[in-house]
Amino acid sequence: MAKHMLGLTNNVDVDLSVKRCPPSQARVPAADLDKYIDKPGLARANLAVSTDVPHGSTANGYASKYKDYTVLQQHVLFWDRDGDGVIWPHDTYIGFRELGFSILFSFLSVLIVNGNFSYPTRLAHSYIPDPFFRVYVDSIHKAKHGSDSGTYDPEGRFIPQLFENLFAKWDKDNDGALGLGELFSMMKGHRCAADPFGWGASFFEWGTTWLLLQKDGKVYKEDLRQLYDGSLFWRIREQRQGGKGWNQGFGLGGDWFIGGTKI
């Protein structure tokens, strides 16, 4: 039975696994995070932090610039093209194109994102569905679904403990990255019963993440952290506009792929 001594505070032994639950032995949560992050179990409203980056995305003043938005809102601001608080279908399309995705994949993303998340975010404003299928940034937390990682809390805050758990539980070779097989194991491990919508949404989100971020077949921790707070999307856009291209990703997500877009 795996144990971890929380010697930083009260020297209390805590069981992290038990004999009669094999998954608890195979998936041990991250421990000793207090050495790197202050109160890692406390959700951060506007900062995505990790043991490697305990102060969030400080490059180019990102964290300060978007401090009035939750981390989940920061995640989607890249698609709010004119800053009006709503993401139109054409905003979604243009955003995916700017990330290097093909015309077909970008169009599919519009159908999935705006088709499924418009009404949940609309409910904060009206019970009448939006005829334009817009997604509302101020209530994007209502688009949170089941079978996800739980890294965002129900209000869109970021929970460092659960982010670190993604790698403590699923990064079996301890290389600070998740391979495709590990991502599939993670998705399966996070599935809730009788939640086909959540399963599908999770598959689309993590599949798109792998297509966009993979390097040598793996999604690296810092790239994933920046994806959670959205700073990654602006970095990719800047690199592509500067002619450097985005040298990660596979298939639908790479600049080299036929059908991808150049800016």
Residue 11 pLDDT class (50, 70, 90 cuts): very low
Query: Does residue 166 register a pLDDT over 60?
Result: yes
Q: Average pLDDT in the 205-215 region?
A: 96
For residue 243, the model assigns a pLDDT of 85
Q: What is the mean pLDDT of residues 236-253?
A: 80
User: What's residue 262's pLDDT?
Assistant: 43
| pLDDT beyond 80 at 130 | yes
Place of tokens 């598959």: 203
pLDDT of residue 2: 40
What would the two tokens of residue 89 be?
């279908």
Structure tokens at 141: 């937390």
Q: What is the mean pLDDT of residues 184-188?
A: 98
User: Using 50, 70 and 90 to split pLDDT, how confident is the model at 250?
Assistant: low
Half-sphere exposure of 244 (CA within 13 A, CB side): 9
Q: Which two tokens stand for residue 178?
A: 């998740």
Q: Decide if pLDDT at 64 tops 50.
A: yes
pTM for this prediction: 0.92
161 to 69, 81, 99, 221: CA distances (angstroms): 21, 32, 29, 14
Looking at residue 1, what is its pLDDT? 38
**Residue 100 has what DSSP assignment?**
T
The two structure tokens encoding residue 2: 């795996």
Q: How many CA atoms lie within 13 A of 252 on its CB side?
A: 17
Return d(Cα 133, Cα 112) in angstroms, integer: 11
- pLDDT tier, 59 (very low <50, low <70, confident <90, very high otherwise): very high
Neighbour count for residue 51 (Cβ, 10 Å): 17
Contact indicator for 47, 203 with CB cutoff of 8 Å: no
- 225-238 confidence digits (pLDDT tens): 999 999 999 999 99
* pLDDT exceeds 80 at position 263: no
Partners of 215 in the β-ladder: 218
Q: What is the pLDDT of residues 168-181, one digit of tens each?
A: 999 999 999 999 99
Q: How confident is the model at residue 22 (pLDDT cuts 50, 70, 90)?
A: very high
Contact 220, 176 (CB under 8 A): yes
> Where do the domains of the chain lie?
1-31, 36-253
Region of poorest pLDDT, from 27-41, 45-59, 239-253: 239-253
The CA distance from 36 to 6, in Å, is 14
**Per this entry, what is the length of the chain?**
263
What average pLDDT does the structure give for the chain?
A: 91
What is the Cα–Cα distance from 132 to 123, expressed in whole angstroms? Answer: 14
pLDDT of res. 165: 98
Report the pLDDT value the prediction gives residue 3, as an integer from 0 to 100: 36
Helix 231-241 to helix 221-228 angle (10° resolution) is: 100
| Residue 162: predicted pLDDT | 98
Q: Distance between CA atoms of 202 and 251, rounded to whole angstroms?
A: 19
C-alpha 163/C-alpha 37 separation (Å) is 12
Output the furthest CA–CA distance in the chain (Å, rounded).
58
pLDDT higher than 80, residue 163:
yes
Question: How many Cα neighbours within 13 Å face the side chain of 211?
Answer: 20
